[in-house]
Structure 1
Amino acid sequence: MVKTVRRFRFIELELLILAALLIVAGFLLITLVSRGEAYWTLSDLSTALAFVGALFVVHLYFTVTRFAGDQVILPTVAILTAVGLVVIRRLELIMSGGDNPLGGIAIRQSLWVLLGIIAMMVVAAKVDLVYRLRRYKYSIAVLGLLLMAALLIPYVGVEINGAKLWYRLGPILFQPSEIVKVLLVIFLASYLDERRELLTSFYRVGPLKLPPLPYLAPMVTMWGLSMLVIVLLKDLGTALLFFAIFLALLYVVTGRGLYIWVLGGMFVAGSYVAYQLFAHVQVRVLAWLNPAFDPYDSSFQIIQSLFALSTGGVFGTGIGYDAPQNMPYVHTDMIFSAIGEELGLIGTIAILALYIVLIYRGFMISMAARHGFYQLLGIGITTIFGVQTFIIIAGDIKLIPLTGVTLPFIAYGGSSTLTNFIMAGLLLGISGARGRDAN
């Protein structure tokens, strides 16, 4: 009888019902507010219902296959995604007139989300294939470098806002750094796991106590080349993210604070050089330090973000009752500020709490993993979620300069949405590979 009960994922099911109610109520509310009357049709909820259906298909698949993975990751991701779809639908309704580029973003985002859910389910079920990829770590690293370096080729990479970060595939813009960050984690997890004991040893040269430089060299070289390419592409947000991944995994394996100080100093020095070399970096730093210096152009975005957050106050203006469209790139860079404007401090704290749950579960899954590669892979993925969330939210509230990363699962973006679901699938797969339920 106990075994029969354990087949069912009751915690996951209960939390998914909450996500389903959230997105259906959200779509219904913004429809009624936008029309100004108590009238709606089933087609108004089609995106929400498709999302709910996809979630319960994944849940049913996990139940039928007796998947023993974590029961909190999927609902947490689902709630964050539901919030994102509601906000993006709200923005589309108020900003899709005429030739506005936001017309149709809700349906495009929903298609990426559905594709991401499928990818998450497949990755979670077949995580052992990723385990086998550790044998080809150098090939993976070279593939990642080539994907980034190809952006430097004329007519291949597309430059937007001073950074060349995208491939154009017909009407679709694809950002290779999204998938490269996963490749980087796989490479680092494979390399560090194989050389864990060697990297924790030191040797003496006279009075000096030196780290095992020959074993650090291949990893540092691959990381350094990736950072060089990113700097050439003027994508310092991704550079910061890659640096955090590298530093986190290296510290977890070695436990040496020396690496943090040395590499941290190198990153600060590199950031200063980038500030001196690139005009758009100088503009962002100046807008951060003194938004009043150019309030109608380069500082306009951060000023509008701060105004939006202050307008929202504690309880928010209510969904559909304010003007988030005043913020440039509100559906990508500024979506957290849009949430703060309409849902207030309470809404933003709820979002932060969800990310804390996701990060906490990610680290718990990593620590409980039986294989060192899975441990490091899980820590790397969780670091991505945590650092990326910090970078974009800190930029929106003027804690650090704005960068070009996206808020995981909430912000609009095809390649970022797909990659986030793949990473969630990896965490689910790692938890399932332990051979027992996380709960």
Structure 2
Amino acid sequence: MAPSGSLMGFVHRQRRGAELFLLILALAVGIGAYAAVGIGVEGHVPADIVGYGGWLAALVVAAHVAVRIVAPYADPVLLPVVAALNGLGLAVIHRLDLASGDHTFARQQLTWMTLGVILFVLTLVVVRDHRLLQRFTYTSGLGALALLLLPLVPGVGKTINGARIWIGIGPFSFQPGEVAKVLLVVTFAGYLVLHRDALALAGRRVLFVDLPRGRDLGPVLAMWAVSLGVLVFQRDLGSSLLFFGLFLIMLYVATERPGWLVVGGLLFTAGAAAGYQLFGHVRQRFDIWLDPFDYYRQASGPHSDQLVESLFGMAWGGLLGRGFGEGSPWRISYAESDFIIGAIGEELGLTGVIAVLLLYGLIVERALRAALISRDGFGKLLATGLAAVFALQVFVVVGGVTGLIPLTGLTTPFLSYGGSSLVANWVIVALMLRVSDQARRPLPDLSTTDDEDPDVESTQVVRLP
């Protein structure tokens, strides 16, 4: 017998009760914000508050029940944070609907949320072990490439606001790049697990940094070419930055070689310089970023009204904001999608924006925590890649809205109006929870009792909070 104090393994508690309590707080945020919009804009609580609140609560409870049944050891914080962001986004979109007199965007977004939760549950049910996804490494890559090329097919692709990143399905428009980013994470994780030893080999040493070998530059050059293709042919600066940045982060995490960051930074700089010199739409984005007020209210040519109105609104909102119904976020074009952070900054102030950023930070932190404790290399890279998707997207969006970097046109996860983005992000969260559940669940007990085999020592399991 082993000593009673010996420790062979640690088991996390399921913490589903804590998740349910946090979900109640998240519902209070979403439904409370919806009620505050009605009071601020119309002077009374919305008449449909019971139906709206009931629908939102049903979706959240359904997601919680699915996690409780099929992923009982998953992280208890991820789902409540996502529910709070989604509820707040619905309230802000509803506020913009009231300002414009059009009540369709919020209802459509709630419908898309319903579809997202359904796919969230299906993902958890179908993908019982995330390691099975590694079998589809190259299939996912081909699927992602096909989805990225689909908007370029004549008669299928649609150009909206200058970017050819949409496909038309009857009366609906869908952005296949949102699905492609999920498939690319699976592809990168599976590829890097197999080839990270070769990619980690050092080449020439320059200024205390070991650069990669020339023969190993193929993958990063290929991804750089794909990102440039998205920029040139689809005119989508945001997705181009997201895809290349995602691969670079995962490559660095897999190899732990800073040389890849140096090579990636040089390729990014070269691509940005070439894009500025060769493509007018890229040059316009940079010029507006550098001198936004020079392009404000121009009669013709490029204009910066969207960015400048957002900056004015956030400045007027100040620290605590004007309050729902007291600002003018409708002055910002496409405030419900590209610039919803500007609308939040105006009516909820810097405090509201910081709270939103902290929630996004929690999503990234919990995904990275799952990566750290994951027991397999594929799970570590998969969780890291999914965390990087959120981190890059939020940085690019908020950086563009605040004038830190040029505007890119990406949507803010769970907040912005957009069905394809919302549905894809719910699937990403389901994959995060699946990796977390696999990492936190107890190992199979392979020990036997003394009566069965007296030579096998028993183990003692300690449960962690």
Moved more, 280-289 or 239-248: 280-289
SS at match of 1:322: coil
Cross-structure match for 1:144 = 144
Cross-structure match for 1:255 = 256
Cross-structure match for 2:306 = 301
Cross-structure match for 1:285 = 286
Change in Cα spacing, 1:195 to 1:35, as seen in structure 2 (3 Å) is: same
1:151–1:166: 8 Å Cα contact kept in structure 2?
Answer: yes
Change in Cα spacing, 1:257 to 1:302, as seen in structure 2 (3 Å) is: same
CA deviation vs aligned residue, 1:270-298 (integer Å, no higher than 9, x gap): 11111222222222211111112121141
SS at match of 1:159: strand
Cross-structure match for 1:320 = 325
Structure 2 residue 40 is the aligned partner of structure 1 residue 11: no
Once residues 186 and 358 of structure 2 are traced to their aligned partners in structure 1, the CA distance between those partners, rounded to angstroms, is 28
SS at match of 1:165: strand
Cross-structure match for 1:184 = 184
Once residues 159 and 80 of structure 1 are traced to their aligned partners in structure 2, the CA distance between those partners, rounded to angstroms, is 29
CA RMSD of aligned residues (A): 2.2
Moved more, 131-140 or 377-386: 131-140
SS at match of 2:72: coil
Structure 2 residue 436 is the aligned partner of structure 1 residue 431: yes
Once residues 150 and 342 of structure 2 are traced to their aligned partners in structure 1, the CA distance between those partners, rounded to angstroms, is 34
SS at match of 1:268: helix
**How big is the shift at 1:235?**
1.0
2:78–2:366: 8 Å Cα contact kept in structure 1?
Answer: yes
Query: Structure 2 length normalisation: TM-score?
Result: 0.86
**How big is the shift at 1:169?**
1.0
Amino acid at match of 1:274: G
Cross-structure match for 1:90 = 95
Once residues 95 and 267 of structure 1 are traced to their aligned partners in structure 2, the CA distance between those partners, rounded to angstroms, is 40
Structure 2 residue 28 is the aligned partner of structure 1 residue 21: yes
Structure 2 residue 63 is the aligned partner of structure 1 residue 58: yes
Once residues 45 and 176 of structure 2 are traced to their aligned partners in structure 1, the CA distance between those partners, rounded to angstroms, is 43
1:305–1:396: 8 Å Cα contact kept in structure 2?
Answer: yes
Q: State the identity as a percent.
A: 37
Q: Which has the larger radius of gyration?
A: 2
Amino acid at match of 1:257: P
Whose helix proportion is higher, 1 or 2? 1
Query: Structure 1 length normalisation: TM-score?
Result: 0.91
1:251–1:257: 8 Å Cα contact kept in structure 2?
Answer: yes
Once residues 355 and 211 of structure 2 are traced to their aligned partners in structure 1, the CA distance between those partners, rounded to angstroms, is 46
**Aligned pairs (5 A) from 1:129-278:** 130-202=130-202, 211=212, 214=215, 217=218, 219-220=219-220, 222-231=222-231, 232-278=233-279
Amino acid at match of 1:84: G
Unaligned runs of 5+ in 2: 1-11, 443-463
Moved more, 342-351 or 51-60: 51-60
Amino acid at match of 2:158: V
Once residues 214 and 146 of structure 1 are traced to their aligned partners in structure 2, the CA distance between those partners, rounded to angstroms, is 27
Change in Cα spacing, 1:244 to 1:328, as seen in structure 2 (3 Å) is: same
Moved more, 194-203 or 287-296: 194-203
SS at match of 1:433: helix
Amino acid at match of 2:171: P
Amino acid at match of 2:17: F
1:322–1:342: 8 Å Cα contact kept in structure 2?
Answer: yes
Once residues 204 and 316 of structure 1 are traced to their aligned partners in structure 2, the CA distance between those partners, rounded to angstroms, is 53
**How big is the shift at 1:57?**
1.9
Moved more, 128-137 or 15-24: 128-137
**How big is the shift at 1:173?**
1.2
**How big is the shift at 1:225?**
4.6
Cross-structure match for 1:100 = none
Unaligned runs of 5+ in 1: 98-102
Amino acid at match of 1:122: L
2:35–2:45: 8 Å Cα contact kept in structure 1?
Answer: no
SS at match of 1:164: strand
Return the match for 1:338 from 339, 343, 360: 343
Change in Cα spacing, 1:344 to 1:196, as seen in structure 2 (3 Å) is: same
